[in-house]
Amino acid sequence: SERSFIMIKPDGVQRQLIGEIVSRFERRGYKLVAAKMMTPSVQLAKQHYAEHDGKPFFESLVNFLTSGPVFAMVWEGKDIVATGRKMIGKTKPLESDPGTIRGDFGIDVGRNIIHGSDSVDSANREIKLWFHAEDLNSWKPVTQGWIYE
């Protein structure tokens, strides 16, 4: 089944939104397969956001991500990559709809609370970057038959 790398950024941790965000994914029916709190190194942040290297906001983005603990997660379920992005909301604050995480909790593009992989290929790359294979838990919640037909 599909997996996505979802990370609560330092602003989301400081604002004590971990429970709120984890709850949204759980209630939707997705399955948590890994989670850890950590302060990312500069090297890890640069690798994570390598696609943005050279852009004007790259340095501040790396400084922000490494400024304190993040809550890194892997979530699993049908279409989790695309649905996760919908639940997170658009990058630009004016486009992030109410009901989405960014649309409910954020104002500034540089303090947007949460990251979600933008494709299945990105998800596979990011999961490998942030987690060891042995830390991914394969399990079957008893609710599965009531979430999937």
- Interaction pattern, residues 21-60, with ligand GTP; x per rule: CB under 6 A: -------------------------------x----x---
Q: Is 56 or 98 the residue whose CB approaches ligand GTP more closely?
A: 56
User: Among Mg ion, ligand GTP, none, what does residue 116 contact (CB within 5–8 Å per kind)?
Assistant: ligand GTP
Rg (CA), the chain: 15
What interhelical angle do 80-88 and 18-28 show, nearest 10?
Answer: 140
Min CB(118)–Mg ion separation in Å: 5
Query: Which residue in the list 48, 52, 115, 132 is annotated as catalytic?
Result: 115
DSSP state of 135: G
Residue 68, binding choice from Mg ion, ligand GTP, none, Cβ under 5 to 8 Å by partner class: none
Tokens 């979802």 belong to 6
Question: Which backbone phi and psi does 48 adopt, to 5 degrees?
Answer: -60, -45
66: its two tokens: 């490494």
